[in-house]
Amino acid sequence: MKQWLGNVFRLGMKELGSLRADPVLILLIVYVFSFAVYSVATGAKLEVANASVAYVDQDRSALTGRILSAILPPEFNPPQEIALDEIAAVMDSGEFVFVLSFPPSFEADVLTGRTPEIQLNVDATAMAQAGNGLVFLQQIISAEVAKFLSGEDSATTLPIDLVVTSKFNPNLNSVWFSSVMQIINNITILSVLLTGAALIREREHGTIEHLLVMPVTPSEIMVAKIWANGLAIVVGVILSLWIVVQVILAVPIAGSIPLFVLGAVIYLVSVTGLGILLATFTTSMPQFGLLAMPVLVVMNLLSGSTTPMESMPEWLQAVMQLAPSTHFVAFSQAILYRGAGIEIVWPDMVIMAALGAVFFLVALRRFRVTMATAH
């Protein structure tokens, strides 16, 4: 065992040296855990912001003016008036996300108790903004009509007192969500790419033959690649959470970062093993990239990091329980968002460890076959 650990350590140090000598991979790690996190968190917002609104006012009454004046920044840009025959053209061109059309005699019909219709055209290609913005506009219109009819500037008092408490993200700020989730997704991406690239690099540089004639076993080579590349990822994660998320973006971390790092280490065993497994089926970096890309896309999109697991078909939810990324996302969200302790997240840690052992053993078997063939 002492000899095995010594070989793993020395091979891992060699791997770190190879990584340090590869400026492209170093730049990739720095970019993924710095600018990529910041740009996605500040640019890919889920809430409504600066949505473009146009309107057609065939009534030109005090009520329509009141409604339009209530559509305010930062959710919406100031509404712009267009002609009735321009609605189709501006919607087709994507110039506006929302187009309101007030019919003639709108205010008079409201005052006489009729139910006039307001046409609201929505460009649903901007799906998140369209869905949330539609709700906001409906609330604005309903509130302004109620105030107009009551003659009061305060909203109509409801027979109930609804108290809304937003836990874990009181301001519903998407930066809090997207910054942390970007780091979680990047762990998966880099774990697969770095370990796979390490094996491909050995082949392309011809050093795999050197390893074959050395008194080392496939398990030592594989574990060395896992701990060396995993160490680089863990360091990048810790610095990204500290500098980018907490300092630059001012996002609070609710739970224990050491507990999160422990879970990330367990998770790294499975995804780095997956990277080596994929690399054994390829002979060059372009082939590896083409093979890894669809795997990573599926793992990230269906892990619960982008959309809730509950929104997926039940059969797909069951299938995704076999993916370690699903449990890592649940584990990470519980700790970093909700401040959960080990008494809550230990089942996910156990499942990640079990799946990691399976991925590691499968990858090790395939790696042994590959090395025997190369020899």
Burial label for 182, CB within 10 Å (0-12, 13-18, 19+), is buried
54, β-bridge pairs:
80, 99
- Helical residues (DSSP H) of 21-126, grouped into ranges: 23-32, 35-43, 62-69, 87-93, 106-111
How far apart are the C-alpha atoms of 191 and 360, rounded to whole Å? 13
158 located within any domain? no
Find out whether 221 and 8 touch, Cβ atoms under 8 Å.
no
Same domain, 315 and 236: yes
In a domain, 230, yes or no: yes
Tokens of 290: 């083409």
Domain tally for the chain?
A: 2
User: 107 and 18 share a domain?
Assistant: no
Judge contact between 259 and 335, C-beta under 8 A.
Answer: yes
- For residue 255, what are the domain limits? 2-44+173-374
Do residues 141 and 251 share a domain? no
Same domain, 61 and 19: no
Q: Which residues contact 261 (CB under 8 A, 6 or more apart)?
A: 234, 237, 238
Provide the whole-model pTM: 0.80
Domain boundary among 115, 150, 185: 150
> Residue 81's domain is classified under what CATH number?
3.40.1710.10
**Partners of residue 101 on adjacent β-strands:** 56, 119
Assigned domain for 210 exists = yes
**pLDDT 10s digit of each residue in the chain, 375 long?**
788 888 888 888 888 888 888 888 889 899 999 999 999 888 877 778 888 999 999 999 999 999 999 999 888 999 999 999 999 999 999 899 999 999 999 999 999 988 899 999 999 887 777 888 899 999 999 989 988 888 766 555 657 777 888 888 888 788 888 899 999 999 999 999 888 888 887 776 666 656 666 677 778 888 888 889 899 999 999 999 999 999 999 999 989 999 999 999 999 988 988 888 888 888 788 888 888 889 888 888 888 887 788 888 889 889 998 889 999 999 999 999 999 999 999 999 999 999 989 988 888 888 777 766 655
Do residues 188 and 269 make contact, with C-beta atoms less than 8 angstroms apart?
A: no
Tokens for 213, please give them.
């004639």
Half-sphere exposure of 171 (CA within 13 A, CB side): 6
The three-class DSSP label of residue 55 is strand
Do 186 and 329 have their domain in common? yes
